[in-house]
Structure 1
Amino acid sequence: MSRADSILKLVKTSYTSSPTFKQATFFGVPHNYKDIKTLRDLLEINYKYQPVKNQLRQNLIAKIKNNENPFVGIIGFDDTVIPAIKRALLAGHDILFVGHIGQGKTKLAELISANLLSPIPIVEGTLTNDIPTEMPYTHLVDLLNGNAIDKMLPEFYVSKDCEEIIKNNGLDTKIKWLDGKQRYRYILATPDISVKDLVGQIDVVKIIKKGIEVFDIDSYSPGYLLQARYGILCLDELPVLDPRKQVTLLSVLQEGRFTTGAYPVFFKPDVKIIATANPIDYTHSGKIIEPLADRLKSHIETHYPNTIDDETLILVQEMDMLNRNQTFLPIFMLKAITRIFQKIRTHPDINSDRGVSVRSTIHSLEAVIGEVERARSLVNNVKTIPRFSDLQCIFQSSKFELDEIEDTTENKTLFLNNVINEVIQETCLHFFNEFFKPQELVSIKNEFRNKSFIVVQNQYQHLPTQVVDDAEGTKLAKESRDTSFSYTDQLRHLPVISKTLRGVIAKIKQEQDYFIQKARQNEIDRNLQYIQFENVWNGKENNNEELLATSSELLFEYLRFSSPPILDKREDRFEIRE
């Protein structure tokens, strides 16, 4: 049998026969797909590409049957958004996510691509993810025999680059497997995106270098739609595209193909489109043209976290800790920051059309940690543990717009300070609910008579340099450490408070342990080392000034808001309330 005949037999058999491989975890993929490295390997197992919508559907079915969660890391959508997504994928729909900024819309698109698309074999080095077995078998036979393709049909199968690679390498052409994560293409819709950016354009450089005709397909440079071929194209903020550009997407959604310019060729990208829109743009007439909105078959509304716990879990999962090994994050502080932004988000003075992103919650925690480092932990070489007196720094990371009152910096600062004070009160009352017996509060009140407690961000600070006389009357400069600010030193004079704080610290540990357990139930492992209580307290009489400080501020703020109030706060000093 001649070489040409053996190639014809191999290719024709592969195209006309059922796959011979055992399927892997992913739909339509050989169990040993990583060992399939050449075009010959691919043909010998009779590989058949499965369309994107089939991959998404079948892989989701398998995960549902195996009770696996393809949306790990998405918190608070279990009863609302996730069921809607599953319905859409099982139905083969393209999706439009409608929701305010910071609601996880693009993250959902990323997870769909990463967890529900099967790996696919492409010719290594091709920009348009060319699968060699997706061209007609006669084309592949011609290329393997080193012949030019007789293109009778005006359809794009593989790029010119792919054709040359197969001509030059034959059955030894290298195959690369792309997973779903690699086939996710994100595009932020901006006014400067052109139709050519979407569908591709004539590449003048190619024309000059190769000496080809202007309308030769070899002069074509692929756009976003073909670069996302066999995958998912996420169009973020779809309404920003003007109607003329939106029309470009209609034929892809309706017919699965598009054309560009004067090329006598049509392209079938087999791409799943997931778009996002802000509610104000989505509902505004004309922002998304009606035919396009109609062809995005499932419109799914997202939302901000409904509970403090859900948003706090998201906060821990998403915060960037930059390998801060000496950091401990009390859960009551995390929940306080979460409460601040949940309260801002629903406040009548806030412009609700703009939304208040969960990113503000995350960025504010990161800013608070930076403030602790700046104010005390780095210079004094102590643990980085946030406390209430650090919260005032979050203005720089709080993104919101006032609506009912003038949106000035002064008004924003006043508004935020009021919210912080309200949240400190709510956090303390929630933490100490049923914690005290009446007689314990009386004992604390009696202990505070004629005494006060100073609260400062940096209790380690030095006194200003003083000029003193030595024994011979010579003027000397002297720097002394002011130990009156030390929380540990102050607590030595307050034995009842010190005993109470041991109970407070025990309750903090209990909350930390419960939160870690809940995080793991939600399959969150990231950043939990910063929640581990054992990293800051050994259970003995204390050696940790910073943990005492954050616990003390929690306790004293509660005593200010208890009923009846025990303490007053005057600037940086807690005193008995008469």
Structure 2
Amino acid sequence: MGEGRSLDPVHQPRILRELRESGHVHRTVKQEVRENLLAKLRAGEPRFPGIVGFEDSVLPHLERALLAGHDLVLLGERGQGKTRLIRTVTQLLDEWTPVIEGCEINDHPYAPVCARCVRLSKEMSEDLPVAWKHRDERYGEKLATPDTSVGDLIGDVDPIKIAEGRTLGDPETVHYGLVPRTNRGIFSVNELPDLAERIQVSLLNVLEERDIQVRGYNLRLPLDVLLIASANPEDYTNRGRIITPLKDRFGAEIRTHYPRTIEDELVLIKQEITPDIGADIPEHLVEVIARFTRLVRESTAVDARSGVSARFSIAAAETASASAVRRAALTGEERAVTRVCDLASVVHSLRGKVEFEVSEEGRETEILAHLLRRATAETFRGRLGGQDLAPLTDRFAEGSQVESGELVPAAELLRRIGPVNGLSKIMSRLGIEEESPGHAAAALEFALEGLYLMRRLSKDDLDGTAVYRT
């Protein structure tokens, strides 16, 4: 109770006297975060659930900044999980915290700061009503846009309160902005450099003096807030900038990055893909998409300053899965399982998510298709490079051919290929444990595509149909 935690706020104190008697201790937001982070570190518990690939790079820097009580900036290209990471910091707050009931800026019952709560505290003393706020309600976020105003962030005069008869100088006529409404919580400004410089000035007092000033009011409102901003390096240096006095007030600047290993990329895709699309996507195809994404990022044809978002790989997996669902609906398959033929749709659907160099204009589809073939070949070598595929290639020895495509159901593809000795070993090497017709077809079609890319088979592509032959 001393830290304000409870799974059931219904039975918590409801007036100030009961809160004092319970032994509750008032801590600032940064003290809460620091102490709860230390407790998780000592217990070996996850601190930032759902964050992949930052364990040995970004997170240690973030933890040091939070332990030091610093406001901070996360700097990185688009789609590196900056916003996701910021939102997980709320898990370091106490689950429940007391506030003065009805307060717009979440004043603590022990230390009211707004005019309304100061007045109520004097009038009601120990009978001051207490409410409880969950940590998820103590997070505020604003995407920096050119039309953002000081009133949006800090506050302005409320004309309705003036119309009710209050005088213009009355502090209770102030309509608080997003920052004070997140008092005793965590506030995030996404893409901070896009915020006009004159608006950035309004955050100077928040970060240093820890207060706000609204228009001409004689009002200094001390705030208890942890401010975390995100920025894109391209915007940070070119299109916009963080003004020097504001940069100086942030305690830490932390660089983020894309997943550095295939394993991290695989975990990220599996974690973030929409679960209700309705198709199974075998592990080897997820690996193809992960390798494809990395090749696109590394390609000299792609604008490196823009980056290739993690949303690219997630959308690719979802698009391929959707292609399998479409096939199942059109052909009457009972179970939708993603196959190699479904990856072709990724190139056309996601071309607009990549910024190419000007010199490559008109070649975007060709470049992506080439990189997808490279990713498929690399995955084939890694998974089936040492596997004996003679039983499969022998089926083509007498000039026979196999026709596949995005509208060929699994059962029909298996009939066209015929029995293959060693199919179970192929499926095992691909990480496929389920022995359904759809999964068997996915394994065999991937093997055929790999043999084609290794120049052991030829292939003719005709409007979504692939014909494999010797």
User: When the two structures are superposed, what TM-score results if normalisation uses the length of structure 2?
Assistant: 0.92
**Partners of 1:353 and 1:104 in 2: how far apart?**
17
Q: CA deviation at 1:443?
A: 7.8
Q: Give the number of the structure whose alpha-carbon radius of gyration is greater.
A: 1
**Partners of 1:32 and 1:573 in 2: how far apart?**
61
Aligned residue among 161, 166, 173 for 1:212: 166
Q: RMSD of the TM alignment (CA)?
A: 2.5
Q: Secondary structure at the match of 1:454?
A: strand
Instruction: Write out per-residue CA displacement over residues 123-142 of structure 1, whole angstroms, 9 at most, x where no aligned residue.
Output: 3333211222213xxxxxxx
Q: Which residue of 2 aligns with 1:546?
A: 438
CA separation of 1:73/1:119 partners in 2, compared to 1, >3 Å: closer, same or farther? same
**Partners of 2:269 and 2:297 in 1: how far apart?**
16
**Partners of 2:446 and 2:320 in 1: how far apart?**
16
Instruction: Write out per-residue CA displacement over residues 466-498 of structure 1, whole angstroms, 9 at most, x where no aligned residue.
Output: xxxxxxxxxxxxxxxxx9x91222233xx4xx1
Q: Does 1:121 align with 2:61?
A: no
Conserved 8 A contact 2:403-2:467: yes
Aligned residue among 91, 97, 116 for 1:160: 116
Q: CA deviation at 1:444?
A: 3.2
Q: Aligned partner of 2:228: which letter? A: I
Conserved 8 A contact 2:189-2:229: yes
**Partners of 1:315 and 1:118 in 2: how far apart?**
30
Number of matched residues? 462
Aligned residue among 275, 281, 294 for 2:229: 275
Q: Which residue of 2 aligns with 1:457?
A: 406
Q: CA deviation at 1:244?
A: 1.0
Query: What does residue range 37-48 of structure 1 map to in structure 2 within 5 Å?
Result: 37-39=13-15, 40-48=17-25
Q: Which residue of 1 aligns with 2:287?
A: 335
Q: Aligned partner of 1:350: which letter? A: V
Q: CA deviation at 1:218?
A: 1.5
**Partners of 1:556 and 1:294 in 2: how far apart?**
58
Aligned residue among 53, 56, 64 for 2:41: 64
Structure 2 residue runs of 5 or longer lacking an equivalent are none
Instruction: Write out per-residue CA displacement over residues 92-124 of structure 1, whole angstroms, 9 at most, x where no aligned residue.
Output: 111100001111111111111223456320133
Q: Which residue of 1 aligns with 2:415?
A: 489
Aligned residue among 219, 232, 245 for 1:291: 245
**Partners of 1:166 and 1:449 in 2: how far apart?**
96
Aligned residue among 74, 77, 86 for 1:109: 86
Q: Which residue of 2 aligns with 1:362?
A: 314
**Partners of 2:132 and 2:259 in 1: how far apart?**
37
**Partners of 1:328 and 1:257 in 2: how far apart?**
53
Q: Does 1:388 align with 2:365?
A: no
CA separation of 1:308/1:286 partners in 2, compared to 1, >3 Å: closer, same or farther? closer
Q: Which residue of 1 aligns with 2:68?
A: 91
Q: Which residue of 2 aligns with 1:466?
A: none
**Partners of 2:64 and 2:382 in 1: how far apart?**
39
Instruction: Write out per-residue CA displacement over residues 135-172 of structure 1, whole angstroms, 9 at most, x where no aligned residue.
Output: 3xxxxxxxxxxxxxxxxxxxxx13537856996x8766
User: When the two structures are superposed, what TM-score results if normalisation uses the length of structure 1?
Assistant: 0.75
Q: Which residue of 2 aligns with 1:235?
A: 189
Q: CA deviation at 1:182?
A: 1.6
Q: Which residue of 2 aligns with 1:503?
A: 425
Query: What does residue range 312-327 of structure 1 map to in structure 2 within 5 Å?
Result: 312-322=266-276, 324=278, 327=279
**Partners of 1:159 and 1:318 in 2: how far apart?**
45
**Partners of 1:101 and 1:166 in 2: how far apart?**
50
**Partners of 1:486 and 1:417 in 2: how far apart?**
27
Q: CA deviation at 1:441?
A: 3.0
Q: Aligned partner of 1:277: which letter? A: A
Q: Which residue of 1 aligns with 2:4?
A: 29
Aligned residue among 395, 402, 408 for 2:356: 402
**Partners of 1:254 and 1:547 in 2: how far apart?**
59
**Partners of 1:561 and 1:553 in 2: how far apart?**
12
Structure 1 residue runs of 5 or longer lacking an equivalent are 1-21, 136-156, 461-482, 513-532, 538-543
Q: CA deviation at 1:340?
A: 1.3
Instruction: Write out per-residue CA displacement over residues 201-248 of structure 1, whole angstroms, 9 at most, x where no aligned residue.
Output: 001011112x01112112100011101100111000000111111111
Q: CA deviation at 1:448?
A: 2.9
Q: Secondary structure at the match of 2:378?
A: helix
Aligned residue among 369, 374, 388 for 2:326: 374
Q: Aligned partner of 2:426: which letter? A: V
Q: What's the % identity of the aligned pairs?
A: 29
